Structure 1
């Protein structure tokens, strides 16, 4: 273990001056390398002599001759300074092509359906040695799982973050209605009357029946009949193919379901607020090369996937930004 009391007595700049003097054995040349005037270097040498209680260098002619003490400590000081220089050297840029390891992310199931496949395909191209793992989670546990190291980041409609987390916006998630036109004989766009009178299927991990859809309907003087509630969005397509019903789901997954299962899409016949989909990650990972690369890749994948599915939403790049001044202020 380091002796803090001993190290407090020494200035790192003095050790650098000692190292350069050992190499140059000349005050003028050493001062030039250290960008110091000769009086400044002489003052540093005087402090070093007092600290180590040894003359260290003796002037012989126009040069300097190190004392036995100086010669004995020179290798250790050189090694220490070299180690410090290596430690503070800027890290090498992350190379996804040669990296071997696992990327773990948290995706709620509607976003997983939209983005997991495209992200896995992109990773296979750019980081063939990497493995992608998607973790299921309840957004109420998102922050805890992040702190426990369950994943690199989570994508959801997150609550207000802790000061040691960063919640970066991705896009505004609007809602669409989906149904099987073979069972429900309604032409798009749905009328308010058709919407209110049709059976409805909802999604809720907690089993909650009432949603913002019901609140919006109530303001218009209507109620709907919820006939089934599933914990995951994956249950919706087969349910809608089995019975006449409507599901109101996020736009990104609505397009996927419609294309894969021949379902019809319609905007809701009333205004619903958009949900802010965000990326939650740890502040300590903000400047990490590997994490930053993955966040940037995910933003690109989201943008491309939404454009390919026909979603008219803008994707923010805030999730992959790294601003050193902000980071410095937060420490």
Structure 2
């Protein structure tokens, strides 16, 4: 059976107003058109729906039965065709799915969650791990709404916004033998490296930069998590190269030494990615603005 949505709206008004003239005014239609709608509805339901009661009308038992169902149907239709400007983060109860690298989750999530609790307490987050290889793929497969990653990967159906720039620093334990002499690339490679690599690679950007100087270090340990890496330095002579924000936080918490590298490494840019299909979707427009402002406040 094909449902005429105009009849649903007319039925809701008739059941609420119990009067053809008032129902017509409520839905912005003429009285004859509303009378025709009532006739059609009586035919569909095989029930008079409205019957004379003195100078007015009353609902039949079947009409009373229909009232809550029609009200829910109209509410669902209204929500379906709600305009973007109607989005209110305070009352929203949606779920937002984010793919984030370990590093960006550490930097951004504490402040983002604090902002959400204050501005949109009903929005829930689902954060999954991503690296520079999977950040775009997860978006294109529709598995997440946003990706936070450090990658130059491009796709015609994915847009991005830079969040902040970050430089690399070196992290060691206090009393590390490196600090007993001059800070040079040659002395840097004398000590075993600790590398964060989600793929388990034995070389990183630091190793590529050292190779340009004709130098090579031993990468003694690789781990997949940025939070774990600094904790492995306390009782070893390993040297960790990591972004400044996480390094400084770990340095304060664990009493580690954070200082500039003795060779040049390019900075990296943290970016937010989203699929073009969600560009104008009001809830995610608001959420992207929230992440951008969070990046400014905490970075």
Kindly provide the CA deviation profile for residues 172-196 of structure 1, in whole angstroms up to 9, marking residues without a partner as x: 3321111111444517994323312
- Over 3 Å counting, the alpha-carbon distance change for 1:100 and 1:85 in structure 2 is closer
1:152 paired residue number? 145
Q: CA deviation at 1:170?
A: 2.2
Normalising by structure 2, report the TM-score.
0.69
CA distance in 1, matches of 2:247, 2:178: 19
CA distance in 2, matches of 1:236, 1:149: 32
1:276 paired residue number? 269
List aligned pairs for 1:45-124, cutoff 5 A.
90-124=83-117
1:302 paired residue number? 295
Where 1:303 maps in the other structure, the secondary structure is: helix
Q: CA deviation at 1:140?
A: 1.7
Normalising by structure 1, report the TM-score.
0.63
CA distance in 1, matches of 2:132, 2:239: 25
User: In 2, are the aligned partners of 1:205 and 1:232 still within 8 Å (CA)?
Assistant: yes
Aligned residues: 236
Q: CA deviation at 1:283?
A: 0.8
Kindly provide the CA deviation profile for residues 212-243 of structure 1, in whole angstroms up to 9, marking residues without a partner as x: 21222122232212111112212212211121
CA RMSD in angstroms comes to 3.1
1:235 paired residue number? 228
CA distance in 2, matches of 1:250, 1:256: 10
Where 2:234 maps in the other structure, the secondary structure is: helix
Kindly provide the CA deviation profile for residues 151-171 of structure 1, in whole angstroms up to 9, marking residues without a partner as x: 221111234332221122223
CA distance in 1, matches of 2:283, 2:255: 40
User: In 2, are the aligned partners of 1:192 and 1:270 still within 8 Å (CA)?
Assistant: yes
Asked if 1:218 corresponds to 2:211, the answer is yes
Q: Which moved more, 1:100-109 or 1:145-154?
A: 145-154
CA distance in 2, matches of 1:132, 1:85: 26
User: In 2, are the aligned partners of 1:146 and 1:281 still within 8 Å (CA)?
Assistant: yes
Which sections of structure 1, spanning at least 5 residues, go unmatched? 3-65, 77-83, 307-331
Asked if 1:264 corresponds to 2:254, the answer is no
- Over 3 Å counting, the alpha-carbon distance change for 1:190 and 1:131 in structure 2 is farther
1:255 paired residue number? 248
Asked if 1:181 corresponds to 2:171, the answer is no
